[in-house]
Amino acid sequence: MELSVVESDGVDERTRAELRELWDSAFDDFGDDDADHAYGGVHVLARDGGRLLAHASAVPRRIRFGDGPWREIGYVEAVAVVPERQGEGLGRQVMRALQVEIAARWPVAMLSTGSHGFYEGLGWERWDGRSFTQTPEGAVADGEEDGLMILRVEPRAVPDLAVEATCEDRPGDAW
């Protein structure tokens, strides 16, 4: 099994097609917006004999914590392992490699998931505050807080996990 780290600009068309196949096999309802969200940052790919087995990426996003300023953080997207190889530690390996890249770029990262236990084992913490989406009409409570998690590379960067977290709106899922 080989791990590689590649910026989105360096992901060729063939790999993009393989990635979409991986995501469609791992997720029940993966759409074009979800695929778009995975690009614009850094990817970790796991291959065995050339076959793509697992992926995770992190992209820059602007997030506001409490009434602080908007800040750039890493946002993790499209973490997936091919169904027949899940439960063998591949997901953990790609996330560990991605977290090295995150730590070199951002003081904190966030993600939205239903698989909290997987990320808790990797040092992530559950978000404890309410979540909001910034729209042209202002910040709107979006009820997404249950899925949100944070990785504090520098714990002092976000000392209080119980404040409001606000993301910018985007096509598809805001968080």
Ligand X SMILES: CC(C)(COP(=O)(O)OP(=O)(O)OC[C@H]1O[C@@H](n2cnc3c(N)ncnc32)[C@H](O)[C@@H]1OP(=O)(O)O)[C@@H](O)C(=O)NCCC(=O)NCCS
**Contact call for residue 3 and ligand X (CB under 6 A):** no
* C-beta of 2 vs 154, nearer to ligand X: 2
Asked whether 67 and 117 are in contact (CB, 8 A), the reply is no
Per-residue interface string for the shown chain with ligand X, residues 130-169, x marking contact by CB under 6 A: ----------------------------------------
Which residues, 23 to 52, sit near ligand X by CB under 6 A? 26-27
Pick from 86, 97, 103, 163: which binds ligand X (CB under 6 A)?
86
Residue 172 makes contact with ligand X by CB under 6 A = no
Percent helix, strand, coil in the chain, to 5, is 30, 35, 35
Q: Is 8 in the site for ligand X (CB under 6 A)?
A: no
Among 38, 44, 73, 81, binds ligand X (CB under 6 A): 81
Distance between CA atoms of residues 137 and 110, nearest Å: 24
Which is closer to ligand X, CB of 113 or CB of 139? 113
Which runs of consecutive H residues, i.e. helices, occur in the chain?
13-26, 32-37, 90-105, 116-120
DSSP string, 123-150: T-EE--S-EEEEETTEEEE-S-GGGEEE
Residues 19, 62: contact at Cβ < 8 Å? no
Contact residues for ligand X, defined by CB under 6 A: 26-27, 79-81, 86-92, 113, 115, 117-118, 121
